[in-house]
A and B are shown apart, each in its own frame.
Chain A
Amino acid sequence: DAGITQSPRHKVTETGTPVTLRCHQTENHRYMYWYRQDPGHGLRLIHYSYGVKDTDKGEVSDGYSVSRSKTEDFLLTLESATSSQTSVYFCAISVGEYEQYFGPGTRLTVT
Chain B
Amino acid sequence: DQQVKQNSPSLSVQEGRISILNCDYTNSMFDYFLWYKKYPAEGPTFLISISSIKDKNEDGRFTVFLNKSAKHLSLHIVPSQPGDSAVYFCAARSGAGSYQLTFGKGTKLSVIP
Contact = CB atoms under 8 A, between A and B. Distances in A.
Contacts of A4: 43
Contacts of A85: none
Contact of B34 (A40, A58, A99, A103): A99
Nearest to B104: A42
Interface stretch (B12-20, B44-52, B53-61, B72-80): B44-52
B45 A45 contact: no
A99 B93 CA distance: 9
Contacts of A64: none
A3 B106 CA distance: 25
A98 B89 contact: no
B68 interface: no
Contacts, number: 48
Interface string A84-106: 00000010101001111111110
Nearest to A4: B43
Interface residues of B, number: 21
Interface string B80-113: 0000000001010100000111011110000000
Contacts of B99: 31, 48, 50, 94, 97
B89 A43 contact: yes
A31 B97 CA distance: 12
B105 A40 contact: yes
Nearest to A30: B99
B44 A104 contact: no
B45 A102 contact: yes
Contacts of A104: 42-43
B70 interface: no
A90 B103 contact: no
A109 to B, nearest CB: 14
Contacts of A41: 105
Contact of B43 (A40, A44, A90, A99): A90
Interface of B: 6, 32, 34, 36, 41-46, 49, 89, 91, 93, 99-101, 103-106
